[in-house]
């Protein structure tokens, strides 16, 4: 009977531990949630302030977000396949929409790997390396997937989000809609 109790106890511990892991693998690339490309737009009257976004960038400079321009905030990691796929689109759009500020936020990545990635693709905008910034989006449009891209209006309020890989069409439409307000 004592042996049966130990076995049942071991099984319960194993079930509890596996439930806590939510099926997340130790492999970083397998442990993220990929978005479906869905676009969310918030009407101006329903928007809330974007979080403060400031800190050290991948290039070692300090950056602080300021209100006054439409801003695209892309949450990414160098190991994330959709992030690697969308970076040429983000770079092209940052060059097309020069009146819009583009900003990256690195999440769940090693800065040296991300810095090499940014250098290889010649990303022309800064990337903050403090992913605690993402907690500030929890009351508006949280970054529930990697990549996630938020668009902030000229008044510093969260106006929209794309969960998953951006496309030229999806991000251009969101930028133009928010810029025309």
Assigned domain for 13 exists: no
Looking at every residue in the chain, the average pLDDT score rounds to 83
Number of separate domains in the chain: 1
Q: Where are the alpha helices (DSSP H) in 54-130?
A: 81-96, 111-121
Question: What domain range includes position 94?
Answer: 32-179
CATH of the domain at 148: 3.40.30.10
pLDDT computed for residue 136 by the predictor: 87
pTM confidence score: 0.80
Assigned domain for 4 exists: no
- Which tokens in the block code for residue 49? 């302030």
pLDDT computed for residue 34 by the predictor: 59
pLDDT computed for residue 27 by the predictor: 37
pLDDT at 172 over 80: yes
Assigned domain for 17 exists: no
Assigned domain for 135 exists: yes
The answer to whether 123 and 103 are in contact (CB under 8 A) is no
Q: What is the pLDDT of residues 19-58, one digit of tens each?
A: 333 333 333 344 445 577 788 899 999 999 999 999 999 9
Q: What is the pLDDT of residues 82-131, one digit of tens each?
A: 999 999 999 999 999 999 999 999 999 999 999 999 999 999 999 999 88
Alpha carbon separation from 62 to 43, 46, 78, 128, 155 (Å, rounded): 32, 31, 21, 9, 22
Q: Between 143 and 39, where is the model more confident?
A: 39
């Amino acid at each position: 009977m004592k042996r049966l109790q130990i076995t049942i106890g071991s099984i319960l511990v194993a079930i509890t531990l596996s439930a806590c892991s939510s099926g997340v693998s130790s492999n970083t690339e397998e442990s993220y949630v990929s978005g479906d490309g869905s676009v969310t737009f918030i009407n101006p009257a329903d928007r809330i302030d974007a979080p403060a976004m400031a800190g050290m960038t991948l290039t070692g400079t300090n950056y602080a977000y300021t209100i006054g321009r439409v801003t695209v905030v892309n949450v990414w990691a160098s190991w994330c396949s959709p992030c690697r796929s969308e970076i040429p689109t983000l770079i092209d759009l940052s060059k097309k929409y020069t009146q819009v500020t583009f900003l990256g936020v690195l999440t769940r990545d090693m800065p040296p790997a991300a810095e090499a990635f940014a250098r290889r693709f010649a990303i022309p905008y800064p990337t903050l390396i403090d992913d605690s910034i993402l907690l500030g989006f929890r009351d508006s449009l949280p970054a529930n997937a990697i990549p996630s891209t938020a668009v902030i209006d000229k008044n510093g309020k969260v106006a929209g989000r794309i969960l998953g890989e951006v496309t030229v069409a999806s991000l251009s439409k969101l930028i133009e809609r928010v810029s025309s307000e």
